[in-house]
Amino acid sequence: MNFAYVLIALSAIPLVITIFNALTMRVVRPNSDAHIKQKIAVLVPMRNEERNVDSLVASLQASRNYSALSITVLDDNSTDSTNGLLNKYESIDVLQGRTPPEGWLGKNFACHQLSQSNNARDSDYLVFVDADVRLAPLAVSSAIAKMESIGWDFISPYPKQIATSFIEKLVQPLLQWSFMSSLPLRIAERLSFESMVVANGQFFVVKRSAYQASGGHESIKTQVLDDLELAKSLTRSGYRGGVADASQIARCHMYTNKAELFEGYRKSLWKAFGNPLAGALVSLFLCATGVLPLLLGLFISPLYFVAYLLTLASRYLSALRTKSGQATVALHCFSIAIFIYLLTTSWRGRASGQLTWRGRKI
């Protein structure tokens, strides 16, 4: 029975952190009173995004409460109809991306080119948006107003993650839960340690002056976790910022099928924990709190179920707070099993040099 109490204690830790974050996390809400007078450059990298062009441009064109906002999209050597669809819109600037030079990852170089565009150079705020993100009309102005009210130099508003297929519903909610349950965000803000930085590049706002002074994407050109590393680079340079819940103003549907989801996670999970040993320790903890208690509860003692229920409570609270999927919370053990599989295959692919994304080697 003593082991049961150990697992209960371990499972209580993520729950306590989740409760703390649910009560204190920064939130970007639609703010109709916010009117941004400074110049804003919305920057969108696109590579083979024909399915997203029209709906994304429509959402960006509906943006409100600003004095000057430009939209620049970079077609990153697409092989589908992305370029043709973009060129229908006279109100946006379309750039033709160059082939990434040696030592650059594709998206990082695309964002770098966007940051060097005329619109970006003439703006006070840079707003990086992924093609699979949809913003509410007040999203950009509200995010900048929130950043200004806190005195931050950058903000990472975390969109609501859309999941439609069963495999997405099992895996995608782990994104929010990963930081909601492992890091007291408001404390991390105050400490400004690189190791405690959280960011999401799907929707990322930064003062142009801070972006340039910290080296921008050029300083992280080899990093597969570009969003996290950009936030770390800004923090290293003395700039303040952090993550905020943006589920009320932004949404993102990252993957549409199992193949995309697996490739997407494999390309970067190897980097998430620094090295295989750290990844193994994280996997061990996740098993101890999300798989083992269920098995031991079924075959040894019902007391072990308490540990599993504490983990489910953490998952449910995270899902409720960030408006992510709640339907598969009870299947957390399967979510963890898939995550560990993806982490393992990510490291294997990294070791063999076989990781790819959007047709390019990582």
Residue that terminates a domain, selected from 194, 217, 252:
252
* pLDDT > 90? residue 227: yes
Residue 78: HSE in the Cβ half-sphere, 13 Å Cα cutoff: 23
Give the confidence band of 194 by pLDDT, cuts at 50, 70, 90.
confident
Q: Three-state SS for 240?
A: coil
To the nearest whole number, what is the mean pLDDT of the chain? 94
* pLDDT > 90? residue 326: no
Mean pLDDT of the region 158-168:
94
Mean pLDDT of the region 281-308:
95
Residues whose CB falls within 8 Å of the CB of residue 86, separated by 6 or more in sequence, listed in order = 46, 53, 57, 73, 75, 92, 94
| Chain centre distance of CA 254 | 10
pLDDT of residue 35: 95
* pLDDT > 90? residue 356: no
Residue that terminates a domain, selected from 235, 252, 269:
252
Out of 92-96, 190-194, 252-256, the most confident range is 92-96
CATH number of the domain residue 149 falls in: 3.90.550.10
Q: Which residue has the higher pLDDT, 360 or 158?
A: 158
* pLDDT > 70? residue 24: yes
Among 357, 267, 16, 320, CA closest to 160: 320
Domain assignment present for 226: yes
Residue 297 and residue 234 share a domain: no
pLDDT of residue 192: 80
Residue that terminates a domain, selected from 210, 232, 252:
252
* pLDDT > 90? residue 279: yes
Residue 279 and residue 233 share a domain: no
What does pTM read for this prediction? 0.94
Domain assignment present for 264: yes
Q: Which residue has the higher pLDDT, 360 or 145?
A: 145
The secondary structure of 15-46 as a DSSP string is HHHHHHHHHH--B----TT--EEEEEEEEEEE
Mean pLDDT of the region 298-319:
96
* pLDDT > 90? residue 358: no
Residue 47 and residue 15 share a domain: no
Q: How many domains does the chain have?
A: 2
- C-alpha 105/C-alpha 352 separation (Å) is 18
Q: Which of 134-148, 328-342, 345-359 has the lowest mean pLDDT?
A: 345-359
pLDDT of residue 240: 95
Mean pLDDT of the region 84-92:
94
Give the confidence band of 44 by pLDDT, cuts at 50, 70, 90.
very high
Q: Which of 2-6, 194-198, 217-221 has the lowest mean pLDDT?
A: 194-198
* pLDDT > 90? residue 327: no
For 108-140, what is each residue's pLDDT tens digit?
999 999 999 999 999 999 999 999 999 999 999
* pLDDT > 80? residue 1: no
Residue 236 and residue 113 share a domain: yes
* % pLDDT > 90, the chain: 90
Mean pLDDT of the region 196-223:
96
pLDDT of residue 288: 96
Domain assignment present for 171: no
Residue 349 and residue 242 share a domain: no
Residue 279 and residue 208 share a domain: no
Burial class (CB in 10 A: 0-12, 13-18, 19+), 161: buried
Under 8 Å between Cβ of 134 and 237: no
* pLDDT > 90? residue 324: no
In terms of residue numbers, what domain contains 9?
2-23+258-361
